[in-house]
Every structure is written in structure tokens, then in C-alpha cells.
Structure 1
Amino acid sequence: MKIIITGSLGNISKPLTEKLVHNGHQVTVISTRPERQAEIENIGAQAAIGSMEDVDFLTATFATADAVYCMESLAPNAFFDKDLDVSAAIIQICKNYQKAIQESGVKKVIHLSSIGAHTDKGVGLLAFHYQAEQIFNELDDDVSIKFMRPVGFYYNMLAFIPTIKAQGTIVSNYGGDNKEPWVSPLDIASVIAQEFEKPFEGRTVRYIASDEVAPNEVAAVLGQAVGKPDLQWTAIPDEAFLNRLVSFGMNPQTARGFTEMNAARLNGILYEDYYKHRPELGPHKLNDYAKEFAAIYHQQ
């Protein structure tokens, strides 16, 4: 197949591109950065340099494909941009994808959604994934869509490093011994590559996870990896957590979304649909990721 990959050479898109090229597909990778072209071509793919905000560019690029992989991303500092409505920006990208898919005539779509996309109530910042899926679902019925819903990414744990170093603890507004799912981008890429090999029929949803571990277990594993075997996970009230995020410079609207999202981990809303459709866990476990975490921890 001729497949378009969005997301440049990110944590998911790069290993996904490598797998698809290995499987014999003709892959084109969309990137906003011209300097990425050589690296993309070295993998065996073609580069299409342009923006997710440019509908005409997306339409022309999608028109050359049998299938497309759509993901939304913002600038690395987006959560700290006081003038940016993160949810609105993501929704606009989804509308651009919708129009490009409709006008290009491509009929096979894989969309990177998320845990929490089953509802727009009580999941905080993740509500935009529900809205995004609704936008894609407005496409004509002859467009087949596979919604991929990964859980929390391991690399989100890197946000723990500052408080581990400054206070000797992980701080959040949830915690405890209830297990929750985490995922490696490598396992996400593997699942999506598998889905490209399967028939596209109607609209489907697939959750993706690598491991299920409790916050206190996370602290133990990461602490052992970085040489702090007594590392603890400290849960603080929602308001205190919100104030911490804002004090770090996060956009207050985004900070409220993060706080509610974390509360949804504790009250069960976030994972209620996941446990109804629990996936087979991928091979990359927390203990594997802890080595990568420790390397980054000691570099900072």
C-alpha cells in the first residue's frame, strides 16, 4: 500500500515508518521541518514537507495514498503557552484532516486517539480526544477508520524528574496501590503496523497498553533505577496540584485539564471503557523503560 504518515519522525511515527517500510509499503512521511527530509529518506520513505494547518497540502498529499495515519501534535511548549487553547488547536487540526480525507478520496484511515476518548465528561484535558473522534466519525460511511487508543505513555514519567531531584518524591493529585496501564511508543507503533495489514471495515476501536502498575510500584521501580530505592509517590489535593502546575508556568486552563485528568485516574472514569475492552499487553514493560528513564535522569 501507499501510506501517508503524519507526526514526522516522532516517538511513534519513526518506528512505525520503519516497520511499514520493512513490510514492503510505500511510505510518505509528513514533516514541517525540511531538515528531516534526509533522515526520512534514509529510512526508505519519502518526505512531504508541509503543515497540518495547510488543508490544501494535506489534501494533495493524501490523494496519492491508499491509507493515512493521522495524529495531532503541538509545539513542545504548547502547555505553557498562556495564549494557546490546546483543545481548540487540536480540534482544528482534526477538522483539517477531515476535510483533506473527504476531498482527497482516501478511504482507509488510522487515527491516533487516546485513553479517555470514550467520553467528554470528567476526563479533563483528554476530552478533546472524544471530540476528535466525533469529527472523524462525521466522514462518509465508505471511509473506514481505526481509532487507536493508547494509555499513558511511559515518557510522560519524565515530568517526575524535577520533583524527584528537588524534593526526593513524585508528586501528583493521585496515587496508591491501584494498578493503571502504561504504554511504550514502540508497542503503539507495532500495533498500528499490524492494523495496516488487516482489513479496513467500518469504524473500530483498539486500546493499546504495555504494562499495568500502581503509582507506588512506579515509584519503587524508578527509584531503584536512579539510585533512590526509598523513593515515594506523594498524593496531594487537587487544588494544591493545580496551583503547583500554574506556579511552574503552565497555562491555567491546561493545568485544570491535567488536574481533572489525573483525578479521573483515581475515580475510575478514565479507565472504565479500557477495562471493558482490555487489550493484550505489549512486550515493553516498566522495568525496561526504567533504564531509559534513569539515563535521562542522570543527564539532567
Structure 2
Amino acid sequence: MKITLTGSLGNIGKPLTKALVHKGHSVTVISSNPERQKEIEALGAKAAIGSIEDAEFLTKNFNGADAVYLMETLDAAGGFFTKNLNYIAAIDEICSNYKQAVLQSGVKRIVHLSSIGAHMDKGNGILRFHYNAENKLKELPEDVSIKFMRPVGFYTNMFAFVRSIKEQGAIISNYGGDVKEPWVSPLDIAAVITEEMEKPFSGRTVRYIASDEVSPNEIAQVLGEATGKTDLKWTAIADEQLLNGMLAAGMNAEVAKGFVEMQASQRSGVVYEDYYRNRPVLGKIKLTDFAKDFAAAYNK
């Protein structure tokens, strides 16, 4: 198949590109970074350098594709630390560009990277843009088949723990304890997307993706052992205290509030309700596997 991928060569995009090329597909990778071109081509794919904020560029690179992989990224819209960014509006605009490009190119098969929490229109914090994105794509004609991929929290998000461990000797969040929650490796996400690309497309479907289910206290124990900090604890603080810390670090206020609300929904468990109704088979990469990468980053 001819497949166009958005998302450049990130944590998902690189292994996804490798897998699809290995399976004999003709892959075009969209990236906003010209320096990625040689790396994309070295993987056996075609590089399309341009912006996902440009609907005409997207249309050109969706033309002739048998399937497209769509993901939204805040980096393309300015990132978490751009003070005046309205991130919801920025992501909504990217989704509108995707919708326009799909309509104008005539592509009929979409795999969309959504998220846990995308079933909620409120109470999910920063994850609300995934709800908006799914519903924007659902406005496409019925003959456009869409597979909504809903991964849970990425292991790679845990790299943010390095700073608080080094500075405060603990993992700090506004939730914690012994209740297990799901986490996922980008490698398992790429494997599932590759699988879904090769399966029949029909209508609109949802698939959750997870690798392991562990509690905050278990995470502290595993990461502590991996880094040699065997006394590492996961410490829960108040929402307001977490928010103030994010704002002091220079994070966009709307984004910071969104993260705090998202993690509060993890604390209550509401964000996971649909996941547990549609619980997937867990992937191959476990927390103990990721802990090796975390330790390498910690000791860098």
C-alpha cells in the first residue's frame, strides 16, 4: 500500500516507518524539519517536508495514498511553553486541515492517533483536544473508514520525573498510591498501528493500546531500583501546589491547568472507565523494560 504518515520520526513515527517499510509498503513521512529528510530516506521512506498547518501541502501528500496516519502535535502549534498559545484552538485548526486534505485527496482509510480520555468532552483536562479531534474526523463522509487508536499514558512521559527525583528525591504528582493504572510503550503503539494498517477497514472503530498496568508506588519502586535510589517514593501533592510549580517552570497557563485536571481524572479513575470497558490485550514492553531507558536518561 501507499501510506502517508504524519508525526515525523518521533517515538512512534520512527518504529512505525521502519515496520511499514519492512513489510513492503511505500511510505511517505511528513515532517516540518528539513534535517529529518536524510534520516527518513535512510529508512527507505519518502520525505515530505512541510507543515501540518498547511492544508494544501497535506492534500498534495495525501493524494494517491491508500491510507494515512494522522496525529496532532502541540510542538507544531508552538509547544507547552508558549505563553499566549490557545492550544485547544491550535489543535482544532490542525484537525480541520486534516479533514480538508482527506476530502480533497479522496483518501478513504485513516488510522488516527487519539488517546485515553477521548470519550470525555470535559473533566479530562488537556486530553479534551483528542475528543475534539475524533469528533472533527467523524464529520467526514461515511465512506471514509477511521480507526481511532487510544493509547494510555506513555512510558516516555516518565522522563519528566528525572528532574524532581534529582532535585527533591521523589516523584511528585497530584495523585499516587497503590491503584494500578495502564501505561504504554511507543514501540507497542507502533506495532498495533502497523497491524491495523494491514487489517480490513470498515466504518469507525476504537482500539485501546497498553503495555502494562502498575500503580504509582510500583513505578517508584521499579524506577528506584533501576537508578540505584531504592528509597524512591511517589509523593502526592495538592492540585494547586502542582499547578503553581508548573507555572513557575514557565508552562503555558492553559496547558498547566489541563495537565493538573488530567491527572486529577487519573486520581479519580474517571479517565479510565471506558478503557476498562474495552480492555485490550497488553503489549510486550513492560515497565521493567522501560526502566533501563529511564536509568540511562537519569544517569546521563
Instruction: Place the TM-score, normalised by the shorter chain, in its bin.
Output: over 0.9
SS in 1 for 2:213: strand
2:115 matched to which residue of 1? Answer: 114
**Paired letter, 2:85:** L
**Paired letter, 1:37:** Q
**Aligned positions of 1:56-67 closer than 5 A:** 56-67=56-67
**Paired letter, 2:67:** A
SS in 1 for 2:28: strand
What is the CA-CA distance between 1:28 and the residue it aligns to? 0.6
2:175 matched to which residue of 1? Answer: 174
Gaps of at least 5 residues in structure 1 are: none
1:22 matched to which residue of 2? Answer: 22
SS in 2 for 1:81: coil
d(CA) in 2 for partners of 1:146, 1:24: 21
What is the CA-CA distance between 1:78 and the residue it aligns to? 1.2
2:35 matched to which residue of 1? Answer: 35
What is the CA-CA distance between 1:275 and the residue it aligns to? 0.2
SS in 1 for 2:265: helix
What is the CA-CA distance between 1:75 and the residue it aligns to? 2.2
1:101 matched to which residue of 2? Answer: 102
What is the CA-CA distance between 1:263 and the residue it aligns to? 0.4
Q: Deviations over 1:17-46 (max 9, x none)?
A: 110011111111111122211111111111
Please say if 1:9 is aligned against 2:9: yes
**Aligned positions of 1:1-300 closer than 5 A:** 1-75=1-75, 78-299=79-300
> Given the two structures, how large is their TM-score scaled by the length of structure 2?
0.98
d(CA) in 2 for partners of 1:58, 1:19: 23
What is the CA-CA distance between 1:176 and the residue it aligns to? 0.4
d(CA) in 1 for partners of 2:48, 2:31: 6
Identity across matched positions, percent: 65
Which 4+ residue blocks in structure 1 deviate beyond 3 angstroms?
none
In the alignment of these two chains, the number of paired residues is 299
> Given the two structures, how large is their TM-score scaled by the length of structure 1?
0.98
What is the CA-CA distance between 1:74 and the residue it aligns to? 2.6
Q: Give the superposed CA RMSD.
A: 0.9
Q: Deviations over 1:235-271 (max 9, x none)?
A: 0111111111111111111111100100000111110
d(CA) in 2 for partners of 1:15, 1:106: 23
**Paired letter, 2:170:** T
SS in 2 for 1:284: coil
Gaps of at least 5 residues in structure 2 are: none
**Paired letter, 2:40:** I
**Paired letter, 2:139:** E
**Paired letter, 2:17:** T
SS in 2 for 1:10: coil
What is the CA-CA distance between 1:73 and the residue it aligns to? 1.1
d(CA) in 1 for partners of 2:255, 2:56: 30
